[in-house]
Structure 1
Amino acid sequence: MARIAYVNGRYGPISAARVSVEDRGFQFADGVYEVLKLIRGRLVDADRHLARLRRSLGELRIEPPCSDAALQRVVKETITRNGLGNALIYIQVSRGTAPRNHPFPAAAKPTLVVTLRRLNLPGATELEKGTKIITLLDERWGRCDIKSTGLLPNVLAKQAAQEAGCREAWLYDAAASDDPVITEGSSTNAWIVDENGVLRTHPTGSAILGGVTRSVVLELAVAAGVKVEQRAFTLGELRRAREAFLTSATSLVLPVTTIDGHPVANGMPGETTRRLMADYAAHCGI
């Protein structure tokens, strides 16, 4: 069946969906987005995603286009019209349409777009053997905690990873020391089990996006009795790690077994990673 999109109060074929050329999301990347997943007809962690959307809108001083309850109705209706049981739901809100000028327009109405596509999760081989990543200099802006549509540095990093035959690029901040700190991936959060057996990931703040999957995995790790610290790790510590994995809404918990062409430990997913993979899959109902 044809894919159906929601745009500013109207449902219709995605091929016919339109926003103005003067929409500030197009002109300035003046907008935010959120991504939810639907598994077997159930939205996973929708409340956390919508809370993050509200936060991003507030940080950019964009008025919400509607209440959370109304947005959930739009999302559910878009799901129904697309007829998918497993789907990726993309929500984008821009400041709206106005003649191109940098200052905020006085009376623009926010633009709301909701689209769906089929959810493609990591395959069995990648889950069993792990994935490959590269590391790159983090060239993003200073407010990575806002889920902004301004993603060009992320796009370039992801393209570099693809051209290197890897799934992802983990980014490092070279300003602090001779041993750069890993922030996060181009579209994922980064984790290691360090030399002392401690599970670590970068603390929340302006340097990373506080991933919804990340927040769930932190809770699952604590519940499983894993020693966990929200503490940044360096490139050197990454290379000496016992285990590594990445998290995101679409990648779930995915082992990282090769970094910059070198194996992580013995080159296979470790015990902590496997435990959290299973626990998160159960959380999602997979």
Structure 2
Amino acid sequence: MADRALPRLSGRPLVKGFFEKRTSSVQYVVADPETKSCAIIDPVLDFDPKSGATATHSADALLSYVDDQGFRLQWILDTHPHADHFSAAGYLKDRTDVPTAIGEKVVEVQKLWQSIYNVSDCCPADGSQWDRLFADGERFKIGNMDVEVLFTPGHTLASIAYLLGDAAFIHDTIFMLDGGTARADFPGGSAPALWRSIQRIMALPDETRLFTGHDYCPGGRKPAWESTVAQQRAENSHLIEAKTEEEFVALREARDRELPMPKLILHSMQVNIRGGRLPEPENNGKRFLKIPLDALEGEPWD
């Protein structure tokens, strides 16, 4: 992680969140209001684990919104390889021919999960499934607006945030105020790394708008996904309770031991290390997912 001053980018992008209720995920369209160029962040490919059915309703809704607003789609961005839903990046790439991107550490995630699945030929472990791999501190543009990449590992070893004007897309690091912080017990995860990533985010200007990637609606409230750095510092349930790295790691690891694995983790990772593409059809024309047994800690009957 680079030791450098945090960026102070100018501008106020237009942001529209789309809540996907099956996985409690939030997808985003973010646009430069001057040029109407936009990016899609963390799109979801619909999947029903009971039937094995896939669909593109969520991703198509993003494209419809882009079209309705008269935006020009410039990027399809993922913050990390998701463990709880299929990425629709591959589908959107095929539909639009717009470049896809993710953090450069995805290569390490590919190697790790190829080992878990005991496959070495499902896809090259070189990140070539995306058009661009971003390094910490790298900049690119959406229209006339600068975007800076911030390496934010902990939830996964490849997680990144996108900083654009007064907005930061932080996905699985900090949740809404009553939701605390993201888990860090997946393969490659680290509670100490997550603490350090959160501190980088908390060092952004107070007024920075933070857009999180999930909301599990504690207490049955309506979905929400936007807060500010100042609000999170003052009111985040985990950050209030844990003031030091040692306290946070103890809190986070104790909490993670109580959580079941996401129901789609073994389904989704083999799709998402392929850049959001389903496995190739086999000789009967059908696609199949591979589920390793006893590969992750935890017992479903606990």
Q: TM-score by structure 2 length?
A: 0.31
Answer 1 or 2: which has greater strand percent.
1
Structure number with bigger Rg = 1
